[in-house]
C-alpha cells in the first residue's frame, strides 16, 4: 500500500456499520493515521482492515443477550441471576414512565424512596427495618462508614476476603474510614479472640466465606456466640452473609433443604437470633436484580440511611420495582418460579428429556453425567448433578463458532470436549440452542 491508496475518512467510516457515525468517523481517522505511519515506516498496513477490526471489537462489546449453557447458574461474567419476567415488566414501566418513586399519593408531598420494597423485605425477614443500596459491597461500606467509623471494627483474620475483580475487604474497610481490628488467625478464630478486643470497638463483624472454604484444622466463632457477646459488651454485631438465602429451611422447596444449601446462613435465621445487621446480595440466591440489602435493627439502619454516602449508593427506581416483585413472589409462595430456583431445582430426568429433544432435532452428541455449579460467590464448592450434552466435533472450534453468532451461546470446554448444560438455560430457549449448535457444527465441517 502507498499513501495514495489510503481511503478518505468519510469513505472508510461509511463501511463501518453497526456503530454510531461519529464513533465510526473517529475509528476511520485513527485507522488511516496508523496506516499512514506504517507506510512511512516502510511497513505494510491496510486502513480498512485496521478499522474493521476495531469496529468489530466495539460491536462485540455492546450488550447482547446470550445463551448461558455453562451450567453455572449465577455466572458473574454473564450477569448473575436472570430476573423473572414480571420483575422485568415492572422495571420497564418504571424506566419509561413517571412514578411515585419519592411521592406520597396520600399527602401529595414527598414520600420515602423504596418504602414498598423495604417493607416487603421487613415482612419477609422479620427484621425491624431494611435498606436497599446498589450492591452488597456498598451495603458493607455503608455499615462500616456509619456504624464502625468512630471506633474499631473487630473482624477475624480468616474472613478478610478477596473476591472477583480484586475486591478486598481490608481495602474497603480503609475506604470507609473504619479502623480494622484483626483477631485470631487465618484458620482459627475463637469467640474469646473477639471478646478480648470488643470493649474498645464500635462493631463486631462476621463475613461469610461465600467464594471459598477453609477446611482441616479450623475454628470460627459462630453467629450465636457473636450475638451473645454483642449483648454482653453492648457493641452492635453485623454479619455479611453474602449470597442472600432468605431462609435456611428453604420452605419453597418440597422436602428437606438440598445438600448444596447446608451450612449456608439464612437471613431470616440471623434476624431471629438477634444479629443487629445482616447484609446480602439481591442478585444471588435471592434471585433478583443487582442490589445490596441491609436488614435488622431499626435504629442502626436509620443511622445508616442518614449517612452522606447513602445518596451515592442508592438504587434507581426500576431496581426497587423489580426487587419488590421478587419479594412478593417469596411472600406469595411463588419462589420456585424465580428463575434461579427454577433452574436449581430442575430434576435430572427433566434435563435429560430436554437434551434428548436437542439430539432428536439433529444435533449429534452424547449425553453424559456431570455437575452444575451455583457460582458467583455462593455456596462455594457445591454443585448439582446434571446431565450434559457432549457435542460431536472439534471442541475449540465449536466454542468459538458458538460465541461468534448473533445470539452467542456460551458452552463449556472440559477435557477436550464441548459440553452443553441446559440447567442454566431457560427451556424457552431450547430451540435457540438447537439452531445455534446447528450453525456452529455446520461451520466446523
Q: How far is CA 240 from the centre of its chain?
A: 15
* Exposure class string for 41-77: b at 16+ Cβ within 10 A, else e: eeeebebbebbbebbeebeeeeeeebbbbbbbbbbbe
pLDDT digits (tens, 9 = 90+) for 108-146: 999 889 999 999 999 999 999 999 999 999 999 999 999
**361 and 383 share a domain?**
yes
422/424 Cα distance (integer angstroms): 5
Distance of alpha carbon 158 from alpha carbon 165, whole angstroms = 20
Average pLDDT taken over every residue of the chain? 92
CATH of the domain at 321: 3.40.640.10
More confident residue, 197 or 215: 197
Most confident segment among 157-161, 250-254, 348-352: 348-352
CA dist 288 and 410 (Å) reads: 22
Percentage with pLDDT > 90 across the chain:
75
Mean pLDDT calculated for residue range 192-206:
91
Q: State the sign of the Cα–Cα–Cα–Cα dihedral 258, 261, 263, 264.
A: negative
Quickly state the pLDDT bin for 249 (edges 50, 70, 90).
very high
Q: What's the CATH number where 417 sits?
A: 3.90.1150.180
Answer for the pair 374, 382: CB distance below 8 angstroms, yes or no. yes
Task: Examine the domain organization and report whether 176 and 27 are in the same domain.
Answer: no
Residues 322 and 366 in one domain: no
Does residue 24 have a pLDDT over 90? Answer: yes
Same domain? For 355 and 260 the reply is no
Mean predicted confidence (pLDDT) in 135-164: 87
Same domain (yes/no): 48, 94: no
C-beta neighbour count of 414 within 10 angstroms: 14
Residue pair 280/293 in contact (Cβ under 8 Å)? The answer is yes
Pairing of strands 417-420, 162-163: unpaired
**Is residue 16 over pLDDT 90?**
yes
Position 4 confidence tier, pLDDT thresholds 50, 70, 90: confident
**Residue finishing a domain among 313, 335, 357:** 335
75 vs 208: CA distance, rounded Å? 19
Q: Smallest Cα–Cα separation from 152: which of 92, 199, 97? A: 199
Task: Indicate the DSSP class of residue 110.
Answer: B
> What is the 3-state secondary structure of 139-168?
HHHHHHHHHHCCCEEEEEHHHCCEEHHHEE
Least confident of 128-137, 180-189, 223-232, 260-269: 180-189
* Domain limits for position 15: 3-61
Q: Are residues 291 and 414 in the same domain?
A: no
Starting at the edge strand found earlier in the chain, the sheet holding 201-207 runs 129-133, 292-296, 277-281, 237-242, 201-207, 152-156, 179-183
What is the band of 217 on the pLDDT scale with cuts at 50, 70, 90? Answer: low
Beta carbons within 8 Å of 171's beta carbon, 6+ residues apart: none
Neighbours of 36 (CB within 10 A): 15
Average pLDDT of the segment spanning 357-375 = 94
What is the pLDDT confidence band of residue 211, given thresholds at 50, 70 and 90? low
Residue 125's φ and ψ, nearest 5 degrees, are: -105, -15
What is the number of structural domains in the chain? 3
What's the pLDDT at 25?
97
Coil, strand, or helix at residue 382?
A: coil
Q: For residue 158, is pLDDT > 90?
A: no
Distance CA 278, CA 281 (A): 11
pLDDT at 380 over 70: no
Characterize the bridge pairing of strands 292-296 and 277-281.
Answer: antiparallel
pLDDT in tens, 90-100: 999 999 999 99
Average pLDDT on 148-157 reads: 86
Give the rounded distance of the alpha carbon of 38 from its chain centre.
44
Give how far Cα 285 sits from Cα of 45, 87, 241, 370, Å. 51, 16, 11, 22
Residue 234's pLDDT is 95
Q: Looking at the structure, do residues 137 and 241 belong to the same domain, yes or no?
A: yes
Position 426 scores a pLDDT of: 96
Same domain for 376 and 345? yes
| SS3 readout for 267-327 | HHHHHHHCCCEEEEECCCCCCCCCCEEEEECHHHHHHHHCCCHHHHCECCHHHHHHHHHHH
Higher pLDDT, 142 or 199: 142
Summarize the confidence of residues 299-310 as an average pLDDT. 96
| Residue showing cell 420452605 | 251
Instruction: Mark whether 117 and 229 lie in a shared domain.
Output: yes
User: Is residue 207 over pLDDT 60?
Assistant: yes
CA gap 296, 384 in Å, rounded: 32
Which helix or strand (DSSP H or E) is residue 204 part of? strand 201-207
Q: Which of 42-56, 71-85, 287-301 has the highest mean pLDDT?
A: 287-301
H-run or E-run covering 365: strand 365-373
Q: Over 80: is that where the pLDDT of 218 sits?
A: no
**pLDDT confidence of residue 170:** 83
Residue 215 confidence (pLDDT):
64
Task: Clarify whether residues 288 and 430 are in a common domain.
Answer: no
The reported pLDDT for the residue numbered 260 is 86
Give the end-to-end CA distance of the chain in Å, rounded to a whole number.
Answer: 35
The H or E element spanning position 385 is strand 383-391
For the stretch 411-421, pLDDT in tens is 999 989 999 99
**Tens of pLDDT along 27-49?**
999 999 999 999 888 898 899 99
Q: Are residues 49 and 106 in the same domain?
A: no
The number of helix segments (H) and strand segments (E) in the chain equals 17, 15
Do 222 and 319 belong to one domain?
yes
Amino acid at each position: 500500500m502507498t499513501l495514495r491508496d489510503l481511503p478518505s475518512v468519510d469513505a472508510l467510516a461509511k463501511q463501518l456499520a453497526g456503530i454510531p457515525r461519529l464513533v465510526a468517523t473517529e475509528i476511520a481517522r485513527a485507522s488511516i493515521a496508523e496506516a499512514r505511519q506504517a507506510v512511512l515506516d516502510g511497513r505494510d498496513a491496510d486502513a480498512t482492515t485496521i478499522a474493521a477490526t476495531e469496529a468489530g471489537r466495539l460491536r462485540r462489546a455492546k450488550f447482547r443477550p446470550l445463551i448461558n449453557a455453562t451450567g453455572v447458574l449465577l455466572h458473574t461474567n454473564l450477569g448473575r441471576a436472570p430476573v423473572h419476567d414480571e420483575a422485568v415488566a415492572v422495571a420497564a414501566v418504571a424506566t419509561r414512565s413517571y412514578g411515585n418513586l419519592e411521592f406520597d399519593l396520600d399527602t401529595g408531598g414527598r414520600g420515602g424512596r423504596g418504602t414498598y420494597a423495604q417493607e416487603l423485605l421487613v415482612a419477609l425477614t422479620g427484621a425491624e427495618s431494611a435498606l436497599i443500596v446498589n450492591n452488597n459491597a456498598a451495603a458493607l461500606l455503608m455499615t462500616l462508614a456509619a456504624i464502625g467509623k468512630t471506633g474499631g471494627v473487630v473482624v477475624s483474620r480468616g474472613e478478610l476476603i478477596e473476591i472477583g475483580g480484586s475486591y478486598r475487604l481490608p481495602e474497603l474497610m480503609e475506604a470507609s474510614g473504619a479502623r480494622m481490628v484483626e483477631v485470631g488467625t487465618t484458620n482459627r478464630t475463637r469467640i474469646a479472640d473477639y471478646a478480648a478486643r470488643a470493649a474498645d470497638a464500635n462493631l463486631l463483624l462476621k463475613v461469610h466465606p461465600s467464594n471459598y472454604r477453609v477446611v482441616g484444622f479450623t475454628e470460627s466463632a459462630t453467629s450465636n456466640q457473636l450475638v451473645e457477646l454483642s449483648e454482653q459488651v453492648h457493641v452492635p454485631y453485623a454479619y455479611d452473609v453474602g449470597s442472600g438465602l432468605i431462609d435456611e429451611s428453604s420452605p419453597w422447596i418440597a422436602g428437606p433443604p438440598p445438600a448444596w444449601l447446608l451450612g449456608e446462613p439464612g437471613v431470616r435465621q440471623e434476624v431471629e437470633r438477634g444479629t443487629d445487621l445482616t447484609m446480602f446480595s439481591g442478585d444471588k440466591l435471592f434471585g433478583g436484580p443487582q442490589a445490596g440489602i441491609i436488614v435488622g435493627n431499626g435504629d442502626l439502619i436509620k443511622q445508616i440511611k442518614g449517612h452522606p454516602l447513602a445518596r451515592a449508593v442508592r438504587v434507581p427506581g426500576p431496581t426497587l420495582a423489580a426487587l419488590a416483585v421478587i419479594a412478593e413472589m417469596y411472600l406469595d409462595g411463588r419462589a420456585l418460579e424465580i428463575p434461579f430456583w427454577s433452574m436449581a431445582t430442575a430434576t435430572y430426568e427433566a434435563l435429560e428429556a430436554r437434551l434428548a429433544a436437542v439430539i432428536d432435532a439433529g444435533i449429534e452428541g452424547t449425553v453424559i453425567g456431570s455437575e452444575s455449579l451455583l457460582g458467583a460467590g455462593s455456596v462455594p464448592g457445591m454443585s448439582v448433578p446434571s446431565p450434559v450434552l457432549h457435542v460431536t466435533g472439534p471442541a475449540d472450534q465449536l466454542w468459538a463458532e458458538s460465541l461468534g453468532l448473533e445470539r452467542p451461546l456460551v458452552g463449556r470446554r472440559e477435557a477436550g470436549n464441548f459440553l452443553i448444560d441446559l440447567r442454566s438455560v431457560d427451556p424457552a430457549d431450547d430451540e435457540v440452542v438447537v439452531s445455534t449448535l446447528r450453525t456452529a457444527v455446520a461451520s466446523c465441517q
